[in-house]
Structure 1
């Protein structure tokens, strides 16, 4: 069986307000071409289909187009789980229609997968069929390759979506221990459905300890409470397909092959050096899987420009057409705050410039940690604001509001600590 692993599409995500749906549509076409070229039998999509729980109509339209193409009229299997960005109920709303084409949508952990042995109402020999299923697992028969796959499919397993309190303690190590125990228990139960004559797979959307993060992922662990030990994965799985981290990577310390496929596009400038890809597997029952990364070429690259010689250097780069098809994060070392006209000129000359960050001489003077720790809170906020806004200073009302919010947060923490002391 030839299996493709992908994740973290984030349809509808923008970059500084710039629409990226055309790039995401380009990725869909590339993904479908890969599936055709590589004769893929089964696609695993490991969560974060959308950027928000309430995606735009255009983002949903692209999703429906993608799954219709990928299913190849019901002859290719497709299993999709919800990630932390997805609304699990909204994701599975079209499940009755999707099932007619061998598409399985799973929203929450422990959701029971309903199926019909013949959902289309007519016998079609080459259509994918769910032949057995239960809570977060299914057995999928794919006639094109003559094999069946048993898939332990665990959507984003937050405490709320698991519908249970994992620990009475708020102590981070205790919460992590309880969470890991529950994840390991769930996988152990799901792995009970594996058989020697099936291809045995697992998939989930979570953060595994040791994984490399980037700026575009929303943190899904509270402290370290929702970070998962790779030893939680079932040892009888032949492969674990993961979503959440946007850098393609293998999971260190896993007892079985486990990988993040990564996002198909670079979604933050911290990913500008990522080589985006999908994972292709060749699997047979009771055999080690063969793993291949297939590079992706879709989307505009993300590039950082640092104009150490000031505005003229940045204008020259834009006039030369440097990185013409890229999104640009521009830092300019300058002696004066840029005017609105200068900023508008830069953007006219290169429509891909999404961030312009002037750095003034005084901003180049770095303070030590000890010096920073001695500054009053309002001065720390002012320095941060100036660095983010290219030297512009916050007005007095904004500083006052920040200090009020900081005091409210401190009071809340003190009240919590007093409650714990009284309980002790």
Structure 2
């Protein structure tokens, strides 16, 4: 049985207001073709299918069109779990309909663990057991207790995550004992998850949100049951194994989510099993839209742009001017240089202008210039709250903001 692991599509995401539907469409076309060429039996999508809980009609159309296409291919099953960006109720609204296409969707944790357990069969014989664990929200794995400290909350989150995987894997092991025969051979247990593991690599500006409030955003690889033969993870955008555990992996996002990921090779993961031992191969995802960062003096920037024009580049550019002269008309100057090219400036940073603004007296500052955390800290300053009392107050404020952010707008 051949299994393909991907995650973090973030369908509908834009880059500094620039639509990326063409990239998403090209990726899904490539993915469908790859599934057919490699004769993939099962596709695993480990969360963050959409970028927001209320995806646009275009994003939804890409999603459903792709699933319809591969349901007619060699791919017998698709397993999709929700990530922290996804709306559980939106994903599960089409659950019954998609089940007819052998697409299994798990949007949120429930009391019935059987709903997270999926038996994959080929030629009417069980071939793998999937523990499809979605993104586990704080309320799914931790019960608030009166008087608990921040460290208590963090410890309870770790224990809650570990306990959930322990329970679902025990159920999978029990089911495996019932299903295994001489004909089936050893049936692998494949788990899924959308979380942050200890030591996971991130990149500045990748948009990866903290999953939990406080110091705990990570769970160690040793917290997962040893019965898992492969763990397909989502959330981190950099493709990577978790430490030395090659069978615990992030596939990463399929397209760069920002300029910080521009030079990163994107991948999906192909897994086959020999007596439940995974044989892992990474497949490189093509670059569908080149992103290039240019930093330096005006002359440096001009030279690089001319070089790219000579290459007939169609890249999207992030330009940061670091020269000493103050160029108030920098944008107009660059637009003129870019004329008769296929390139666009997506982000422009003028270091001198920025420094002038930062150093200026901000007497006309408004709420639009501040984020919620800034406002809260200023409130603490205004009421002269002692430093020793601030940590718990700031943590509580973050918890409230997070609960608002995770409110499922599609739920009843």
Which SS does the other structure have where 2:63 is aligned? helix
- CA positional deviation for 1:358: 2.0
> Per the alignment, do residues 4 and 331 of structure 1 end up closer, same or farther by CA in structure 2, a change over 3 Å counting?
same
- 2 CA distance for matches of 1:169 and 1:229? 27
- CA positional deviation for 1:103: 0.3
- Are 1:26 and 1:298, in contact at CA under 8 Å, matched by a contact in 2? no
- Are 1:152 and 1:190, in contact at CA under 8 Å, matched by a contact in 2? yes
- 2 CA distance for matches of 1:412 and 1:323? 58
RMSD: 3.1
Aligned partner of 1:299 in structure 2 is 288
Aligned partner of 1:277 in structure 2 is 267
1:155 maps onto 2:134 in alignment: yes
- CA positional deviation for 1:101: 1.0
- Are 1:166 and 1:182, in contact at CA under 8 Å, matched by a contact in 2? no
> Per the alignment, do residues 17 and 77 of structure 1 end up closer, same or farther by CA in structure 2, a change over 3 Å counting?
same
Task: Count how many residue pairs are aligned between Structure 1 and Structure 2.
Answer: 372
- CA positional deviation for 1:209: 0.9
> Per the alignment, do residues 291 and 84 of structure 1 end up closer, same or farther by CA in structure 2, a change over 3 Å counting?
same
Deviates more, 1:395-404 or 1:176-185: 395-404
- Are 1:166 and 1:179, in contact at CA under 8 Å, matched by a contact in 2? no
Within 5 Å, which residues of 2 pair with 1:322-401?
Answer: 322=311, 324-334=313-323, 335-339=325-329, 341-345=332-336, 348=339, 349=341, 351-360=343-352, 383=355, 386=358, 395-398=362-365
Within 5 Å, which residues of 2 pair with 1:24-423?
Answer: 24-72=24-72, 76-110=76-110, 112=112, 134-143=114-123, 146-160=125-139, 162=140, 164-165=142-143, 171-192=149-170, 193-194=172-173, 195=176, 197=180, 198-214=187-203, 215-216=205-206, 217-252=208-243, 254=245, 257-284=247-274, 286-310=275-299, 313=302, 316-317=305-306, 320-322=309-311, 324-334=313-323, 335-339=325-329, 341-345=332-336, 348=339, 349=341, 351-360=343-352, 383=355, 386=358, 395-398=362-365, 406-410=377-381, 414=385, 417=389
- 2 CA distance for matches of 1:325 and 1:399? 38
Aligned partner of 1:130 in structure 2 is none
Deviations 1:269-322 (A, max 9, x none): 1112211010000024x4311000000104212211123344772585277255
> Per the alignment, do residues 186 and 413 of structure 1 end up closer, same or farther by CA in structure 2, a change over 3 Å counting?
farther
- CA positional deviation for 1:57: 0.4
Which SS does the other structure have where 2:109 is aligned? coil
TM-score (normalizing by structure 1): 0.79
> Per the alignment, do residues 103 and 385 of structure 1 end up closer, same or farther by CA in structure 2, a change over 3 Å counting?
farther
Deviations 1:92-119 (A, max 9, x none): 111111000110011102365xxxxxxx
- Are 1:7 and 1:262, in contact at CA under 8 Å, matched by a contact in 2? yes
- CA positional deviation for 1:220: 1.6
Unaligned runs of 5+ in 2: 181-186, 394-412
- Are 1:307 and 1:313, in contact at CA under 8 Å, matched by a contact in 2? no
Deviations 1:141-178 (A, max 9, x none): 2338x443211111111213x17425656644332321
| Structure with the larger RCO, 1 or 2 (CA within 8 Å, 6+ apart) | 2
- CA positional deviation for 1:410: 3.7
Which SS does the other structure have where 2:53 is aligned? coil
Unaligned runs of 5+ in 1: 113-132, 364-381
- CA positional deviation for 1:21: 0.8
TM-score (normalizing by structure 2): 0.81
- 1 CA distance for matches of 2:103 and 2:12? 22
